[in-house]
Structure 1
Amino acid sequence: MAEVASQTVDLVGREVSATLAEARGALESYVEQPDNAQLLETCAQQLHQVQGVLRLLEIYGAALLAEEMEHVAQYLLATHAERKSQAESLDALMRAMVQLPSYLERVLAGGRDLALVLLPLLNDLRAVRGNALLSEGTLLLLNLRSDQQPQPQAASPGEPALTVEQWARRVRARYQMGLIGWIRGERVEQNLQTLAAVAAKLEQVATRQPVFQLWWVIGAIIEALQESGLESGQSVKRLLGLGDREIRRLYEQGEARYSQSPPVELLNNLLYYVGRAECAGPRVSAVRTSFRLRELLPVDESIEQERENLSAPSVKLMQTVAAAIREDLSKVKDVLDIFVRRGAAQPQELSPQVELLRKIGDTLGVLGLGELRASVQSETERLRKIVEGTLKADESTLVEIAAALIGVEDKLDDSLVGMILPKDAQVPRAAEDTEFQQVQAAVLRECIVNLARIKDAITQSVGGTLDAAGLDSWPDLMRGLKAGLLLLGKARAVEVIEAITVQLKRVMQPGIHVLPPGYIDRLADAIVSVEYYMETLQAGRSDPWYM
């Protein structure tokens, strides 16, 4: 049976390769006959077929690349009359045409399907269309931080004593000239030197960390380009182009205001390319060390070999990515919860969550988690319709969306562990301790009952109707709750219970008493959070420590 399945996959693989060859042939013919738009339509149709087959085969990394290629072909078709960005788009698409069959061949031969190794090419395919890069707001929104502080230098002899804003206004024209010359391929070394000088000057005069770090990292990118350690692809050109926008923003807003809203996504994208540079100049090495890029990205001399082998990312990267995805999913769920509590009156309030879910979907796609990506994309589409008013924002629909996101969250750990392990390895699972599960279920059941009694007692105490028996019983209920969680080894939850107990002593007093504004609301939030935590454990989900 396995032999038949293998033969079927091989047969489908050959058909996919043949279809890709037809798409490439149509694209090459279009280059020779730029007025024949029908060739582009053929190319886009062939790529759409390839994408569908790859999804059926569950080769999600290759499917994601085919999807981005199809988008570029459609973009070329849409801009056919004006010839907008034709050269750059054709170059990126042709490189993808060469790389996709090679990637697919390795995966069908038993290699790992991991779109992460295709990220530079995926970024280029997006850059030529003016879309957000896949590393923007996804993989590298990992709270990368550096403790490196600015070290402003005094003006050199003969130099005017200018502020950061004045220097930014002064050097912007030089940066623009160097950038345009480099993008056009004119006097490349000289123009890169101009860009390096501007970056170094802004790094030297910066007095606040966000400004200093941005230009320190841009300086590392330019150093890598000068040492031929980084290809000058469309993504890198776009990122350095965004540097010009940041110079203008710096002198228009002033350094203090600018530092309050630093360009986090731009910095993270730049760090990704510093991490994959194939050189080790002083700036590149210093940035890698300061931001600890070696823990997240392979940056040594074996990087090309690792890409050839389609190696898995580091465990550290997977842990960081998982935490980032969970945090973003929690933000969406919290906003949905608040939206429902407020009566679901203004669906437009959910617009930022649509964009956040789209970024989460991109991240899952880059990781090759196609099923989870499809689930997130489905809920993103439903939420988009709610925002646009074509779908009613009722509570049941929003609960279904939240439940689907919880399902993604639950499957995330197993999916990422499966990526890290060798392909033929089994995911290690602890032996199921049935007796412990029964004990845990019983303890949690009693804890939830106790918490319900405590909530009733608080309501009566606030209203001034709690009798003496109630005043005497709540400490015992809290001690029972604490003991139960201690028995289950939930130390963090025990700390929260202890803090709630301290605050309850102010509330659970005889008579009517005045409390600070919002005090009861905050206390209620804490109690409900503990209740939700216990119900989550009782439902059999993995310990939601992030709560």
Structure 2
Amino acid sequence: MTTGATSLSMVRDELFSTMEQTEILLEQFIAERNNGSYLQQAVESLQQIRGTLNMIGLAGAELLAQEIFQQANDIPAGAGEERNAQLSALSTSLFVLRRYLESVDLHRQEFPELLLPTINELRQSNAQPPLPESFLFSVRLDSPRPERGTAAANAVIPAAQAKRLRHMYQVGLLGFLRGDDPQSSLKLMARAMSRLEQMFAAGDRGRLCWVAAAALESCVDGKLLPRQSRKQLFARVDRELKQLFSNPQYDAPRLMLKELIYLVALADSKGPLAREVRTAFGLNALPFTDHLLEDAYRGLAGPGQAVVRSLTSAINDELVNVKDYLDLIERENAPADCLSKLHAVVGKLSKTLGMVGLSSAGNALQVQLPTIAAWLDGAAVEPEALLKLADTVLHVEGMVATFKQGPTRAPLVSGAQDEQQSFAMNQLREARIVVADEAFNGLTMTKRAITAYLESGGDKLHLANLPTVLHSVQGGLLFIEQDRAAGLVQRCSEYIQQHMLEAPQMPSEQMLDTLADALTSLEYYLEGGAILRNEMRTSVLDLAEESIKALGMQV
């Protein structure tokens, strides 16, 4: 129990009464813009709220109250439509502040980080820069980096290799910014940054790569949410890499380092780089996780994805009931009221789907209602009609799953012919995904085998199955018409055969890392669903091709 949460109970009634009165005054001003007295009284009340929160020591709540006060004080009497966004943000912020204080009063637990999104939305409405995620996080940034290896600090860094690794980072960053499977994109970025971290490990300018690699490792392990602030952070890291490569005296911005270290603290990853950074900076586990903050914030701000999940869960439960009824009818073991229940559930579902925007799915079920009604009137249940109804239910189930995943998926279609075509296309898409998954697993197995080969000092037994595995991967890619990717896999297989299985000496660690870079790029191509998104094909496969050329192979 924190001091601020304890003290809140002593001023609770007066504070909440003042907040309620402030909300009323603000609403009155929004309705009567020329009556400046409403706004002035609201500003005075806000100043009182801020003072009370300062007195009891609720730092996060006080910060939000301070922002609300400043924004309200900036609005003139008679404000026109140009101030609507700001006034709306003020109302929302007051609502969130009251909900937060109610939560603190109930649970006796402070999480000021919950208020940062609201604070930033309020600042954005007034064209102010947002506060960073790490605003409430403290860490000493001058902690020394652990000594590693014996390489000289002024060692020459291969420019071509650094450029290729930055390109790898940029390809992953592009996918991350677009929202194309963020986890896969982060993995590619983490791979590139960890390789850069190894290259620059001996010099002071490698500090950014070290911390950024740990942050990316933490994002992957902790499955941190792809927030806009994090996308902007990793985009800034890319811009800093350009300066890092060209300036031997480069020193990373302290605020950027703090932001990256905060991500390491937030994720509590067990990865080697994250552990190293946590030890070096003395980071303790935070009393919350990224997902806990997200869920709690949604609870403060109102309905979000939780409502969608609840709704789709209820719809799926009804679809399960429909499938159970169909199963009983097919087995000719249905109770007397089965058809009437089926008709009622299908009718209710069709209306519900239409209400939530899935009109195509609702119409598809609506079309089946006359058939069920005819069965109720005594018509024979034809197997073809029953099968068509079952196919429609499966199709609707797929549409509901698409709705749950968000608006980035393919648009829904309507009409009987389009419905059948859409179902067939979904089946084909699923088949392509299965083949791509198998190819991805083959590449992952290949990387593990190469790692075991390296750790064993060149034991070729670890590589014995790789030609067969990669041949299968190549065949699968050819089957789904990914000729270029299949050709690159073939080049990787040829390198393993010629330079690892048949060669008397083991390749250098740098060459093995480059081979792993190529396989990682191909992995990302498959795992990220690039085969279903034409816009990603060229950049990802170009990256794999660069690595294969660096191995000395003809492409």
Tell whether the structures are fold-level matches, with TM greater than 0.5: no
TM-score scaled by structure 1? 0.38
TM-score scaled by structure 2? 0.38
